[in-house]
Amino acid sequence: MLAHAGAARVAHNWALAKVKAVMDQRAAERSYGVAEEHLTPSLSWSLAGLRKAWNATKPEVAPWWPEVSKEAFNTGLDALARALKNWADSRNGKRAGRPVGFPRFRSRRRTTPSVRFTTGAIRVEPDRMHVVLPRLGRLKLHESARKLARRLDNGTARIMSATVRLDGGRWHVSFTVEVDRVERTPAHPGSVVGVDVGIKHLAVLSTGELVDNPRHLVAAQQRIRSLGRALSRKTGPDRRTGRRPSKRWERAATRLARAHARVANLRRDGLHKLTTRIATTHGTIVVEDLNVTGMLANRKLARHIADAGFAEIRRQLAYKTGWNGGRLLIADRWYPSSKTCSGCGTVKTKLALHEREYTCNACGLVTDRDRNASLNLAALAAKFDTAGSGPVPARRADQKTHVHGQVATKREPGTTSVGQTGTVPPQGGTTKRVLTAAH
């Protein structure tokens, strides 16, 4: 598996060097006044073009290429093709979001080993404790693959690809499968719930439920610090002198990586259980469009915000509501959910972060700050139903706010989008990733 991951890295770095050399050569020729038709021929950035160039030179670049699967080289070339396309679209204004930088070379020491298989023998063995992958053969799983095997046996799922990845000192194989889903409805289709996420409580629902924040990173911080200090006492790598890390350093680094992986797994498990329960219970869910990146600029709260996983909660609710026949409404980022009184609708001009209780000066309502925000979010569902799928004006202390309703809609198999609509999307044909761990 390490050999296949290394082959993907070699193909990626070779193709990137080739692309940069051609780009630099054409730029130099233009500076000399060479006409466009006489410039060095450009290299195609598509996967097919990069694969053609790689196949023509791989006997010289990688004479060991028959020892690994062709899918290993295809993994590196496909990653580079997508990275170049994202960079070009970002420069041309075709890609929204943050600017995408030019692809960089992958390091053997710092890159996470992974390889993706799309063709060949990919199957789950009848004992459900082994999987078969191209060239890697039969691999024993640490966990049973019975859930995936049942769907494959019933004909309701088809394996599209398998990705092998080293994470936290363990190898994981992830199957991307096309699943036929039955139409589902939430336990309470007419129920509307507002979800306000925070640090003290991970989520406060408008129903009055308070979901405690487990703070997995805080609980493991003492052990992580101890392992980090132990790692610093070992002889590590030095890029300036070319020094290789010692075996003790590698073992200490593995222990530290496993500690971080355990925290990530605990956080992922808790978020999945929470979002699944909400999506299968309520028909309409209203959440806020939080600026998580801006919130991380607060040095005192950045670690706790990152540990809570605000963005992950919204991401999971977006596709799980579509799976279960519900809808997800996104309140505008500037909507004053915490400043607005859930009783009379009065909006405060200022509300300090340390004020954990909301006191309305107009009607005298005194309630928990997060509980008040969740009630205001739940009330937005009625405004959305009244105005349809268009923007709805909302009360704001100092500037105008719009509320946009968004629900998860089905596109092609293997993709999930978030669009503005007021109807529940049809079910079936979505793609699910099933993870199983293997040593």
* Residue of 78 and 401 predicted with greater confidence: 78
CA distance 134 to 116: 10
Confidence of residue 36 (pLDDT cuts 50, 70, 90): confident
Q: Which stretch of 45-49, 107-111, 278-282, 408-412 has the lowest confidence by average pLDDT?
A: 408-412
127 falls within a domain: no
Q: How many CB atoms lie within 10 A of CB 282?
A: 27
Residue 279 shares a structural domain with residue 400: yes
284-318 pLDDT per residue, tens: 999 998 888 888 998 889 999 999 999 999 999 99
pLDDT at site 108: 86
CATH assignment of the domain containing 376: 3.30.420
pLDDT at site 395: 36
pLDDT at site 388: 54
404-417 pLDDT per residue, tens: 444 443 333 443 33
pLDDT tops 80 at residue 369: yes
pLDDT at site 75: 96
- CB 178, CB 158: distance < 8 Å: yes
Confidence of residue 434 (pLDDT cuts 50, 70, 90): very low
Residue 54 shares a structural domain with residue 200: no
132 falls within a domain: no
CA distance 427 to 268: 25
pLDDT tops 90 at residue 354: no
Which of 126, 137, 132 is closest to 68 using CA atoms? Answer: 137
Residue 203 shares a structural domain with residue 325: yes
Among 74, 92, 110, the domain-final residue is 92
CA distance 275 to 269: 10
pLDDT tops 80 at residue 270: yes
64-97 pLDDT per residue, tens: 999 999 999 999 999 999 999 999 999 999 998 8
Which of 209, 172, 173, 176 is closest to 193 using CA atoms? Answer: 209
109 falls within a domain: no
Among 72, 92, 112, the domain-final residue is 92
Q: Please report, for residues 1, 18, 78, the alpha-carbon distance to residue 44 in angstroms, rounded to integers and kept in the order given.
A: 29, 11, 13
Report the mean per-residue pLDDT for the chain: 86
Structure tokens at 287: 């959440």
In sequence order, the 6+-apart residues with CB closer than 8 A to the CB of 346 are 340, 360, 361, 362, 363
> What's the rounded mean pLDDT across residues 224-230?
96
Cα torsion through 246, 247, 249, 255, rounded to 10: 170
What are the catalytic residues?
196, 288, 370
> What's the rounded mean pLDDT across residues 200-209?
92
b/e burial code for range 80-95 (CB count within 10 A of at least 16 → b)? bbebbbbbeebeeeee
pLDDT tops 90 at residue 269: yes
Give this prediction's pTM.
Answer: 0.79
Confidence of residue 138 (pLDDT cuts 50, 70, 90): very high
Confidence of residue 386 (pLDDT cuts 50, 70, 90): low
Instruction: Quickly list H helices, 213-285.
Output: 216-219, 221-232, 247-281
* Residue of 437 and 298 predicted with greater confidence: 298
Q: Tell me 399's DSSP state.
A: S
- CB 39, CB 30: distance < 8 Å: yes
Which of 277, 276, 230, 220 is closest to 253 using CA atoms? Answer: 230
Residue 200 shares a structural domain with residue 81: no
pLDDT at site 307: 92
Q: Is the dihedral of CA 83, 85, 88, 92 positive or negative?
A: negative
pLDDT at site 230: 96
- Percent of the chain predicted with pLDDT > 70: 87
Which of 353, 370, 336 is closest to 209 using CA atoms? Answer: 370
* Residue of 356 and 391 predicted with greater confidence: 356
> What is the DSSP code string of 29-92?
HHHTT--GGGSPPPPP-SHHHHHHHHHHHHHHH-TTGGGS-HHHHHHHHHHHHHHHHHHHHHHH
137 falls within a domain: no
What residue numbers bound the domain in which 74 lies? 2-92
Number of domains in the chain: 2
77 falls within a domain: yes
166-177 pLDDT per residue, tens: 988 889 999 999
352 falls within a domain: yes
241-256 pLDDT per residue, tens: 989 999 999 999 999 9
pLDDT at site 275: 96
Structure tokens at 291: 């600026």
β pairing state of 201-205 and 157-167: unpaired
pLDDT at site 430: 46
Confidence of residue 333 (pLDDT cuts 50, 70, 90): confident
Among 64, 92, 120, the domain-final residue is 92
